[in-house]
Amino acid sequence: MDGVTVWMTIAAIGTKWASPSNPGITTLDPAGDASMISLLTQQVRVQDTLIRQIMKFPQEESRAAALPIAMSARRTEKATRLSTVVRTDREGEPIWTPEFQVAPPVAVLQLVTGRWVAQMVGVAAELGLADEIQTGPKTAEEVAQAKGLHPVPLYRLLRALASVGIFAEQEGGRFRQTPMSDALRSDVPYSMRGLARATNRHWTIRGWMELEHSIRTNVSAFEHVHGMQSFDYASQHPEETEIFADALDGFAALVGAAVVEAYDFSSIRTLVEIGGCLVLASVLAKHPAMRGILFDLPAVVESFSSFLRSHGVEDRIELKGGNFFEALPEGADAYLLQNILHWRSEEDCGRILKAVHAAARPGAKLLVVEAIVETSNEPQFAKTLDIAMLVTTHGGKERTYAEWENLLSATGFRVSRTVPTASFACVIEAVRN
């Protein structure tokens, strides 16, 4: 093989990123450093097994679960033709090709079958498989006996999940925990089990099945199907209420922990968290001199008492019940809204922000924790989350920086800076005029 070999990209084949200075896909030295992995790369990792089955290419075994290895395609006429198509970059087209690239038909296959993987993860969460395997590696037969399941299809499910990084199969057919399956446990603060269960429920799926209705009418598909918003549906179906609450808690924990880590709260003496308690409790635990006010609906706010006691901050937090559309606690140094506004229409956001403005003194900070939609064509979770808002809410949406700036300016706030976090959300810091 000559020294200037072209590493053709057909399925999960490593390439270098195309760039304005080098618009074509370049060759990749096998010893070259990997660039940052994008969200699309995660899609490739998740469904790498499908690529191997369809393209029939050999691949080295990786020690890391679900990480594809760069490989050379066979030098056939078809392979060369497909590789050329992948490497072509036409003027005006988005350059989003990740480090581990796939041929367009395979990439589309991964996207349209992503629902299958989500269903697999949802079933694993529903059955509590991660909790069962947490006590030690087990065979499918052992798990089936403990859970009252059939061992043959259970093995097939565990094997498929292991191929995407959830559990890992060992010699002898035993399955052990992995970092991703660990996040499906029900007894950890970072649990995604509730979210996996909620997205797999029939009432959630039915809403998504009517996405086309939302595209045609700009009306919530969930409301079209169920005649009410998701919050109302969950509250009226007790068997779903706990699952829905766990999903929201998992979402809040993921974002809240990142916010506490990224934003400097040290200059704030009194912080009001509106519609939540996770950030407030964590921040007060780090800053002993700070005091807080937890504001939520009267029926909800008292339920946070035990959580606050577990963090040792109950004596520094005042619980206040009310309606954030009407009036809020006055005179605090800062007000925090985490993932509250994206659920709501422009009109409702305006009402909430005006209530904050009326309660805040001049110069007080407003901390809006939300996603900021980028204007580029690069993959971004916020853009997918925006479609979830279209499906499930009455006018809710994810917003661009310009949209956030306009919304805040119209209600008496000036954006001073944005602070990125390790999650998909940012802290948009604004000051009351």
User: Quick one: 52 and 191 in the same domain?
Assistant: no
Write down the pTM of the prediction: 0.76
Predicted local confidence at residue 74, as pLDDT: 30
Predicted local confidence at residue 100, as pLDDT: 53
In one letter, which amino acid is 280?
L
Residue 72 counted as domain residue: yes
User: Quick one: 179 and 319 in the same domain?
Assistant: no
The residue among 312, 329, 310, 313 whose CA lies nearest residue 321 is: 329
Tokens of 414: 């000036």
User: Quick one: 120 and 146 in the same domain?
Assistant: yes
Predicted local confidence at residue 127, as pLDDT: 98
User: Which residues of the chain fall below pLDDT 70?
Assistant: 1-100
Residue 4 counted as domain residue: no
Active site residues: 342
Predicted local confidence at residue 128, as pLDDT: 97
User: Quick one: 339 and 426 in the same domain?
Assistant: yes
User: Quick one: 162 and 184 in the same domain?
Assistant: yes
Q: Is 173 exposed, middle or buried (0-12, 13-18, 19+ CB in 10 A)?
A: middle
Give the tens place of pLDDT for each residue, 202-242: 999 999 999 999 999 999 999 999 999 898 999 899 989 99
Expressed as residue numbers, the domain containing 172 is 114-196
DSSP letters for 250-270:
HHHHHHHHHHHHHS--TT-SE
Residue 105 counted as domain residue: yes
Spatial neighbors of 13 by CB under 8 A, at least 6 apart, are 7, 70, 71, 72, 73, 100, 101, 102
- Cβ count near 152 (within 10 Å): 11
Domain count, the chain: 4
User: Quick one: 180 and 315 in the same domain?
Assistant: no
User: Quick one: 151 and 74 in the same domain?
Assistant: no
Tell me how far CA of residue 182 lies from CA of 129, 147, 166, in angstroms: 10, 18, 8
Rounded to whole angstroms, the Cα distance separating 357 from 335 reads 10
Residue 147 counted as domain residue: yes
User: Quick one: 316 and 405 in the same domain?
Assistant: yes
CATH number at residue 160: 1.10.10.10
Predicted local confidence at residue 276, as pLDDT: 86
Instruction: Looking at 360-427, list the stretches that DSSP marks H as alpha helix, in order from N- to C-terminal side.
Output: 381-392, 401-410
